[in-house]
A = this chain, B = another copy of it.
Amino acid sequence: LFEMTGTGLAGVEDAGGLFLIDRRGGTPGSVVFPAMEGQRPLLVEVQALILETSLPSPRRSATGFDGGRLALLLAVLERRAGLAFGRYDVYISAVGGVRIADPGADLAVCMALVSAFRGQAVAEDMVVLGEVGLGGEVRQVAQTPRRLAEAARFGFAEAVVPDRGPAEAPLQLRLVSSLAHAVERSLGPDPAWLQLAASSARKPSVAFPGGDSDVVR
Contact = CB atoms under 8 A, between A and B. Distances in A.
Interface of A: 1-9, 21-22, 24, 27-30, 35-39, 42, 44-45, 47-52, 54-55, 57, 59, 61-63, 66, 68-69, 71-72, 75-76, 78-79, 86, 88-89, 91, 93-105, 116-121, 131, 133-135, 137-143, 162, 164, 194, 197, 206-214, 216
Contacts of A117: 209-210
* Number of identical monomers bound together in the oligomeric complex: 6
A39 B86 CA distance: 44
A58 to B, nearest CB: 10
Contacts of A93: 72, 133-134
A88 to B, nearest CB: 7
The 6 closest A-B pairs by CB, nearest first: A119-B210, A28-B214, A47-B134, A119-B213, A22-B139, A4-B35
Contact of A1 (B54, B97, B118, B121): B97
A37 B91 contact: no
B98 A213 contact: no
Contacts of A212: 119
Contacts of A135: 24, 27, 29-30, 47, 49
A167 to B, nearest CB: 15
A22 B164 contact: yes
B75 A162 contact: no
A88 B38 CA distance: 39
Given A28-B210, A101-B4, A119-B209, A22 B140 contact: yes
B4 A133 contact: no
A211 B50 CA distance: 11
Contacts of A78: 51
Given A75-B91, A143-B7, A52 B206 contact: yes
Nearest to A118: B210
B22 A102 contact: no
A88 B212 CA distance: 15
